[in-house]
Structure 1
Amino acid sequence: MSEDGPTPGDGTAVGFAAVADALADDVASGILRETYEDARSAHELANALGTSPPTVYRRLETLREYDLVVASTRPDPDGHHTDVYRANVDRVVVHLDVDGFTVEVERTETMADRFTNIIEDM
C-alpha cells in the first residue's frame, strides 16, 4: 500500500493519505466519534456537529467508501425508515518503513458480519 491513496474494499487497509485526511477533517472525525457507540442519522449528526446535512452526507460518502462507517435502516414508528450510520473502526495503526506509511484499520464489523445481520433482520 502506498501513502498516496486509498485501497478501499480490501477489508483491512486503506492508504495513509485517505485515513489522515478523514481523521483531520473535523466533520468526518466528529461523525466517527458520534457514531462510535450508537448509530445516528445524518440529521442527528448534523445537529450534534453543528453543520449542514449536505456536509454530513458528503463526509459519510467518503467514510463509507473507505469502510470506516456502515449504514443500516432504522424503522420509525410512523412507518417511515431512516438510514443510520455507525463507526466501523476499532483501531487505526500507522506503520512506517522504508517504503513509506501504511495504515491498518481494525474494523468492528466485517462483510460477513454485515451479511449475517441482513439475513437475521429478514
Structure 2
Amino acid sequence: MNEESSIEEILDTIGDEHARTILASISREPGSAKELSERLDLSQPTIYRRLDVLKENELIKDRTLVADDGNHYKEYTCNFNSTVISLEDDEYDVRIFREENLPDRFTRLWDELGVQ
C-alpha cells in the first residue's frame, strides 16, 4: 500500500463488488479493459473506473502491449497475493502481501542491512 492510500481507501476499494470481481478475474488471467468488460459482462466505463481506483491503491499493475494492427492497449494483472485486515486496540491495520522477484527481494534485504 502506498503511503498516500489510507486504510479507508483500501477498504472502500476492496469493498466494492465490481472491483473485487475484476481483481478475482485478473488474478486468474491478465486482461485488457475490453477483455474484462466482455468476460465480466460490465460496461467499459465501469471497468475503467474500477481499474483507476485499483491502480491508485497499488492493487493492480499494468503493462502496455501492441496489438497486431499496431494499436496500443494495457493489460492488467493483480499486484498482490493476499491481504490481512486486523483490528487491534480499536485501530484497523491493512497489510498487503506481494510476491517479490528475487532481485527486488535482494535489494530490499541489502537496504535493510544498511550496506552502503
Q: Which band: TM-score by shorter chain?
A: 0.7 to 0.9
Determine which structure has greater relative contact order: mean sequence separation of CA pairs < 8 Å that are 6+ residues apart, divided by chain length. 1
Q: In the alignment, what sits opposite 1:17?
A: 8
Correspondence for 2:36? 45
Query: Stretches of 4+ moved more than 6 A in 1?
Result: none
Q: How many residues align?
A: 103
Q: Find the aligned partners of 1:63 and 1:109 in 2 and give their Cα distance.
A: 19
Alignment of 1:108 with 2:99, yes or no, is: yes
TM score, norm. by length of structure 1 = 0.73
Query: Unaligned 5+ residue runs, structure 1?
Result: 1-7, 114-122
Equivalence for 1:4: none
From the two aligned structures, give the one with the greater helix fraction: 2
CA distance in 2, matches of 1:49, 1:98: 39
8 Å CA contact retained: 1:15, 1:103 = no
| Larger Rg computed on CA atoms | 2
Q: Shift in Å at residue 99 of structure 1?
A: 4.1
1:18 CA displacement: 2.3
SS of match in other structure, 2:64 = strand
RMSD: 2.3
